[in-house]
Homo-oligomer: A and B are copies of this chain.
Amino acid sequence: MPGDDLPERPRIDDGFVEDLLAEPDERGGSDDPVGFVAVGDGADPDLGYLTGFDGPEREYAFVRVADERVLCAPQGYTERARRQFDGRVATESLRAPPGERAAAVLDDALGTRSDADATVLTPATIPHDAAVYLERAGYEPRSTNAVRAARATKAESECGAIRAVQRAGIGAVRHAESILAAADVADGGLRWRDEPLTAERLRREIDADLARRGVRSAGNTVVSAGATTPDGEAADPESAIRRAEPIRIEVAPRGPHGYHGACARTLAVDSDGGWERRAYVAVEAALDAALGEIEPGVDAATVAREADAEVAAFGFDPGGKSARGPLATVHGIGLSARERPFASGAELRPGTVLAVAPSVVDPDEGCVRLGAAVVVTEDGYEKVGDGEPSFAPRRDE
């Protein structure tokens, strides 16, 4: 079946946490950290990255202390934790809050401490109650962004996971293309299998195809045809798609290994070369211009600026005006569908995986967007996933 080749969840080298703990205090003080604690639930990409554990909708803790990796398994999930986590699964006090359990793990590992206020590194967004438990146990939480920073550079195993989910995503968009190719036009509106083909119906078909490939939509599949809101959402997803309307299709599916892909395409049925076709030429040129900028050392903002300038040079209004909005021209992909680097002063490095997707929005005409996913290499980039986009829908290969 399609998608059979989805790889296992990559094992992460978390040596960076060990390095953090080994580094002398930059400020020359004596407060070298004694451990690292993260607390989050199964949806937290940082926790998934650190543990490889597919946790429930409930907070649990990861502790790195004295060369030991410890997962404070959530109640009811110790079996699963043992199967998935490469380290010690702590099962003491299963009903206690994760912050309290993490403090107990630190106490056990460190024994009697001379330091009454030992520093423990944590992500800044650790739940407040967990931070308070650590403080009560005599630890001083100090925030680090090391996990987010580490996630921004992918290991080869992570690139492999992203390639596999990207193949599935491109396949599902190709499936939508074949539906559009097979659709009939009646009174200017599209029909498929004897019913009106609406943006919502096409979106559901795409999500169904993703599911058959073993990945899932994560609720972020977009189909917008014709008039949109100023931020590119379909103004009327329940009406039949019209002939020549730009049909923007975006998927950012999540694989069973947790990693996301990103594919943005625009198609039109029976375009006669009007606004939609001119806008498509603009985003094609913008994508080429942006990709031409990609190499290590370049700022992600430069890539976005290049794309948006090209869109403007064609006389269109770039959609990606906000570096963090739904139409952001550049963002990283990984365990989050959108993650670092954003177009805001982040330098590309070998192993950065980037989605680049310039767009044009005109609330009356529609939204036209074209994207690619790339992994930054030592001397440029490689595309993630293949297949050439087409503006005119093609039938099945």
Contact = CB atoms under 8 A, between A and B. Distances in A.
Contacts of A57: 45, 336-339
A271 interface: no
A114 B360 CA distance: 51
A324 B42 CA distance: 14
Oligomeric state, in number of copies? 2
A317 to B, nearest CB: 15
Interface string A188-214: 000000010000110011011111111
Interface in A118-135: 122, 124-131
Contact of A125 (B128, B201, B256, B322): B128
26 contacts: A1-B204, A43-B43, A45-B57, A56-B326, A56-B338, A57-B339, A75-B322, A75-B325, A76-B322, A76-B325, A76-B326, A80-B326, A122-B128, A124-B128, A125-B127, A126-B128, A128-B130, A128-B131, A129-B143, A200-B214, A204-B211, A204-B213, A207-B211, A208-B208, A216-B219, A219-B254
Chain A binding surface SS class: loop
Interface in A208-226: 208-214, 216-219
A141 interface: yes
B127 A126 contact: yes
Interface of A: 1, 3, 43, 45, 56-59, 74-77, 79-80, 83, 122, 124-131, 141, 143, 195, 200-201, 204-205, 207-214, 216-219, 229-231, 233, 254, 256, 322-326, 328, 336-339
A44 to B, nearest CB: 9
B125 A141 contact: no
A59 B125 contact: yes
Contacts of A127: 124-128
A78 to B, nearest CB: 9
A324 B58 contact: yes
A45 B57 CA distance: 10
A251 to B, nearest CB: 12
